[in-house]
Amino acid sequence: MALTKTKDGKSYELLRFPMKVMNITQGNNGPYSHQGVNALDIAGKDTGIEPTFAPCSMRYKWHDSAANGNAIFFESVNKVMFADGSIDYATLMFIHDNYIGDILALANKGHVFAQWEEFGDEGTAGRATGNHCHFEVAKGKYSRPYDGPNRYGVFCLHNSISADKACVVDGVTIKNGNGMAWKKASQVKTGSSGSIKWTAENGTATFT
C-alpha cells in the first residue's frame, strides 16, 4: 500500500513511520545513547518482537556487523516527500534486528522493498537491553554509514534529521510520541496545491 502526495503536478511517496505502533523509549538527544543526535528507539505495543515496514520504496546500501547491532542502511529509489514538505532522496538506518540474512538475500537478488513492505524486526542485536528498533533518517542519497563520534562518543547517520520532520504517521497507533510534532499526510504543507492518494490492491482513494 503506497501513500503519495502531489506537488506541482508530480507525485511523490511520503515517508511513513516504520512501525504500526509508536512507543518511543528514547528520543533525540536522549540521555543513554542518543546524546547530540537525531535518533529514535522505537518499541511496539509490548516487550515482544514486532515487524518494521519500509517507509518508502527503498534499496539496500550497506550493513554493519552483529556486534554493532546489524545496522542496515537503505536509500529511497526516487525522491520522496518529507513531513516538512521538502522533496529529496532519503537515507534510512535501522539497528538491532537479530537476523538480517533474509533482507540481504533479497537485496542480493536486486529486490526493491516497496513502501510499507514488511522487511525487518525489532530486536536486541548489539548493545540493546530490550527489543526495539533504533531508527534514523537523513535527507539526501546514501554517502557513508556514520558520522562521529561526537563529543559524547556517539555515532549517527550522516545528514540525519528529526524523524517527525521526515515521517508521517498515517496508520500508526501512537502509544508514546515523545512529545514530538508528528503529522499525518493531510497536514503536510507542500507550498502548492496537491492531493493525497492511497493505492491498494482493491483500488485507489484520493483525499485532501
The pLDDT > 90 percentage for the chain reads 89
In contact, 18 and 136? CB cutoff 8 Å: no
Compute the average pLDDT of residues 171-194.
90
Q: Is-contact 54 41, C-beta < 8 A?
A: no
**Per the structure block, which three cell numbers stand in for 45?**
505495543
The pLDDT of residue 203 is 37
Cα 137 to Cα 34, 51, 57, 203, 208: the distances in Å are: 14, 18, 14, 30, 26
Q: Residue 71 and residue 101: Cα distance in Å, rounded?
A: 12
In the block, residue with C-alpha cell 515521517: 167
The whole-chain average pLDDT of the chain stands at: 92
pLDDT tens per residue, range 98-108: 999 999 999 99
Cα-atom radius of gyration of the chain, to the nearest Å? 16
What's residue 191's pLDDT?
78
Q: What's the pTM value of the predicted model, to 2 decimals?
A: 0.91
Residue 135's identity, in one-letter code, is F
| pLDDT tens figures, 35-50 | 999 999 999 999 999 9
Instruction: Tell me the domain boundaries of the chain.
Output: 14-178
The hierarchical CATH code for the domain 14-178 is 2.70.70.10
Looking at residue 202, its pLDDT comes to 35
Average pLDDT over residues 156-176: 97
